[in-house]
Amino acid sequence: MPIPGNLLTTAMAVMPHKDVERALDQALSLDIPFWPQLPHYNYYEDMYVQASEHFPGIILDLENRTLRFSMDKFMAELEQTMLRFEDPEYFDISSIYSVVYPRFLALDLSDRPAIRGQLEGPVSFGLNVQDQDARPILFDDTVRPFMFEFMARRINVQLARLKRLNRNAFMFVDEPGLQFLFSAMAGYGDQAARGDMEVFFSMVDRPRGVHLCGNPDWDFLLALDLDVLSLDVYTNGEIFSSYASSISRFLERGGRLVWGIVPTNWEPFEKEDIETLDKRLKEIWGVLGKKGIDLDFLLSRSLLSPATCCLVNPDGETTVEKAFRVINRLSEKLRTEYRLP
């Protein structure tokens, strides 16, 4: 398994910065760097907009910062899209849609334990993008299967490029919408959702995983064929730790967990310090230990990260940068304490 553990650090990609180099420097300050997504820089950098590049039927309004879908436009553009379906460049992220991605690809990152990329996942994309009738395209039986395959190809192309920089590259599929997936949404039942997600990940190259900050059906998510799961345990740790059996099976088959423990929102961040975060994390691990998960085994398959992204702090990027420094300090403290390599 190329994804390391031993409490090395990484983070979510969405950052509040407008200064490209400053954001990239922050990403590179972690053990496992990534290319930042900067929606305050321009609307192309929005995670949903980035995922929409070359998707047929998309109506992008940069001035009003809206992303919509037209079925008529989809049908008109589908044939041309299919003609490019074997073209990797067509599915990669262009310099128009990310100012940071090409700069990241130009770096020498071969000495890092791993590097990481990301793309918005099909469930969240399909819930967020609505058609001409204000209906999420996830519910459309014509669009949905195409969307899953389209996003899988985009993920695979990006992963292949990152692996040229570092053989241990892996991908996060960002899926905040998974927490709503099984909440009795009209037009998309539980069984269809489960089947679609299983088919989707069968099309996604390894190593692949999911990042989300919400509270989904953890049994379902941990049972998917993932290599890594990244979550907000600062908020959801108590609930997550109640799924010890599923967590144990996930780890036993080689999965890695990314423990999002440092809040990036200004108010909760100001209430915490290294000691309180250390205590909170160990309490979660203690619960899992009482349920039979060996701590040394768990740590060997664990990474650390900030708890969430945050774009709305009154101090702009300041608290987020502080959170990056804290996660590095917490990692150093714990790795020394547990004598991790």
Phi first, then psi: give them for residue 271, nearest 5 degrees.
Answer: -90, -10
pLDDT tens digit sequence for 152-208: 999 999 999 999 999 999 999 999 888 877 665 556 766 777 889 899 999 999 999
In the DSSP assignment, the letter for residue 95 is: T
Instruction: Please give the Cα distance from 43 to 40 (Å, whole number).
Output: 7
Q: How many structural domains are present in the chain?
A: 1
**Selection from 34, 12, 206, 173 nearest residue 105 by Cα:** 34
The amino acid present at 63, given as its one-letter code, is: E
* Domain containing residue 26: 8-40+98-337
Looking at residue 190, what is its pLDDT? Answer: 67
Whether 64 is covered by a domain: the verdict is no
Report pLDDT for 216: 87
The whole-number pLDDT of residue 193 equals 78
Task: Supply the pLDDT for residue 185.
Answer: 59
> Largest Cα–Cα distance in the chain?
60
pLDDT on residue 198 = 92
Exposed (0-12), middle (13-18) or buried (19+): which is 260, by Cβ within 10 Å?
A: buried
Q: Specify the pairing of strand 116-120 against strand 170-174.
A: parallel
Q: Is residue 137 part of a domain?
A: yes
> Per the domain annotation, does 48 fall within a domain?
no
Q: Would 47 be classed as within a structural domain?
A: no
More confident site: 19 or 181 = 19
Whole-number pLDDT of residue 30: 98
Does residue 236 lie within any of the structural domains?
yes
More confident residue, 329 or 214: 329
Q: Could you give the 3-state DSSP secondary structure of residue 20? A: helix
pLDDT confidence of residue 192: 77
Cα–Cα distances (Å) from 156 to 177, 184, 207, in that order, read 21, 31, 10
What pLDDT score does 189 carry?
A: 66
Q: Is 67 within a domain?
A: no
Residue 60, domain member (yes or no): no
Q: Is it the case that residue 28 has pLDDT exceeding 90?
A: yes
pLDDT score of 278: 98
> Tokens standing for 55?
């998707």
Quick one: pLDDT at residue 179?
Answer: 81
The CATH number for 207's domain is 3.20.20.210
129-142 pLDDT per residue, tens: 999 999 999 999 99
The mean pLDDT of 211-224, rounded to a whole number, is 91
* Residue 17 in domain: yes
Indicate whether this model's pTM tops 0.85.
yes
